[in-house]
Structure 1
Amino acid sequence: MGSQEEQLLLQEGGLLECGVEGLYTGDGSVDIKGNPVMKHKTGNWKACPFILGTECCERLAYYGISTNLVTYLTKKLHQGNASAARNVTTWQGTCYLSPLIGAVLADAYWGRYWTIAVFSTIYFIGMGTLTLSASVPQLEPPSCVDSVCPEATAAQYGVFFLGLYLIALGTGGIKPCVSSFGADQFDDTDSMERVKKGSFFNWFYFSINIGALVSSSLLVWLQDNCGWGLGFGGSPITRVCQVVVASFRKWNVEVPPDSSLLYELPDKTSAIEGSRKLEHSDELN
């Protein structure tokens, strides 16, 4: 028995030694549960598309807001140029200071994965709040009449700046973690994976520039020509919320025998101003 146990222990030890080059990564990486990372199950390029997508979307959102923010504050919230410029620079400064919070949380408490997950959720909530502030008429001051522009109320300012600074907080957990989290997917002790890590950073900076390019051109054009709610991503969110509310309100309503009555409204235009009428569907009656 003793010899068999010794042989088993030697085999296990051999597997652990071989793991450096075979089963496990050799740089001491652990997974989300704190276990040693097995190469064939995780890491490498498997998670990289999601990491690159997160970075691209974050840059898309950030530059889509910051590029035209002074214009929004002056034209829609009727602030003076000096006040608008001050608010924009304060917000941008906050965006570049908040990564200190994310870095401390990632390194000392949560790890990169959970830090990115939590702060991405905060970022999404901020984008939703900002979008609603630009889409809901009650959250915007009235338009100018005879060169008289009413100032935004405290509540209107509150909703707008709440969304804006939730985004600033959200970017603080993404900026310091995403690039290093992508680098963690590759084993430094593996010469082939070191090459792949270099390729990852090429794609990473390409994603940043694509996000900045699209936001600085297409999104700015949408904001100026199609509305700020659409530019901030609001039209889909507004309609989704309306569908959810209508579904709960009409939960117990009986379906009429005449299916044509299910076609939104008999009018030629949509019930939502500025939106196209919903097409009739035989599948989703």
Structure 2
Amino acid sequence: MEMSIEQKKATPKVERKKGGFRTLPFIIANETFERVANVGLHVNMILYLLQEYNFDPATGAIVVFLWNAVSNCIPMFGAFLSDSGLGRFRVIALGTIIDLAGLVVLWLTAIIRRARPECHNEEACAKPTSFQLLFLFSALALMALGAGGIRPCTLAFTADQISNPENPQNERTLKSFFNWYYVSVGVSVSISVIFIVYIQVKAGWAVGFGIPVGLMTFSTLMYFLGSSLYVKVKPNKSLLTSFAQVIAAAWKNRHLSLPPTNSDAWYFHNDSILVQPTDKVRYVT
């Protein structure tokens, strides 16, 4: 990938003593096991809501849809936070911990019997209480927040480790990495959809949710074990700061009088053929 002169100037210089391919197993393991742990839950969650929480199909579909929508929207805020505030390493770390907490809470809903509504027979199933719904939705919300910290930053964070503009083979190295990265993503999603869903159906929800918890715990440990090896690029200046400065300047100058209509009094021509603006903010000659 080629960078313009402005991008090269804006890119912080980092020490090459850190980073490199030795950091990839830690980061790729974090991303891979996170997907294996979470994708299978998204696929089979509708059955869990119907069978264990006695949701009707329409309500269950709405809950799963909203959960997927939030999980796919929050990464935009995670990317913004990493670029303008905390940096990629901290956002991924925070997302990993939050995601693990969400998986543990969901696992507890399958272990603790009182966390789910009672069902004595197929015709006498109680509706979930407010506490039970809060317990369930807290797990889904935590997992969505965790995904918002991991997914938008992992690829860029890994590129920070192996990108070296001074190396003539840098572009080829990055292309090769991106290829293998998406191969690992595809394999992890396939494994999750096939095996995690199968285990949930055959071994029960407690085991089916417990395995993702174990995988995510291993993912978290792998990520933090490589902490001393990572290249941690500092975030850029907050975008909100510049935006707030523009708004503040506009508000401060809101009472300033308009310039005179005589263009010669406030235009510096400098041999320009543009003389004065029209009411539609277009120039006439």
TM-score bracket for this pair, using the shorter chain length: 0.5 to 0.7
Partner of 1:81: 57
Per-residue deviation, 1:195? 2.3
Pair 142,86 (structure 1): closer, same or farther in 2 beyond 3 Å: same
Per-residue deviation, 1:231? 1.1
Per-residue deviation, 1:103? 1.1
Partner of 1:211: 188
Q: Deviations over 1:24-50 (max 9, x none)?
A: xx98865xxxxx4332x2122121111
Residue 25 of structure 2 aligns with an amino acid whose one-letter code is P
1:12-23 map, 5 Å: none
**How many residues are paired up?**
206
Residue 220 of structure 1 aligns with an amino acid whose one-letter code is V
Partner of 1:225: 202
Residue 101 of structure 1 aligns with an amino acid whose one-letter code is F
Per-residue deviation, 1:61? 2.1
The answer to which structure, 1 or 2, has the higher relative contact order (CA under 8 A, 6+ apart) is 2
Cα distance in structure 1, aligned partners of 2:146 and 2:176: 27
Cα distance in structure 2, aligned partners of 1:146 and 1:57: 37
Cα distance in structure 1, aligned partners of 2:34 and 2:212: 19
TM-score, normalised via structure 1 length: 0.67
Q: Does 1:55 align with 2:31?
A: yes
Q: Does 1:161 align with 2:119?
A: no
Partner of 2:14: 37
Name whichever structure is richer in helix by fraction.
2
Alignment equivalent of 1:181, drawn from 157, 170, 173: 157
TM-score, normalised via structure 2 length: 0.67
Gaps in structure 2 of 5+ consecutive residues: 1-7, 215-285
Partner of 2:167: 190
Query: Could you tell which deviates more after superposition, 94-103 or 225-234?
Result: 225-234
Is this contact kept in 2: 1:27–1:187, CA < 8 A? no
Is this contact kept in 1: 2:100–2:213, CA < 8 A? no
**Percent identity of paired positions between Structure 1 and Structure 2:** 32
Over the aligned positions, Cα root-mean-square deviation in angstroms equals 2.0
1:1-285 map, 5 Å: 36-39=13-16, 41-185=17-161, 186-233=163-210
Pair 236,105 (structure 1): closer, same or farther in 2 beyond 3 Å: closer
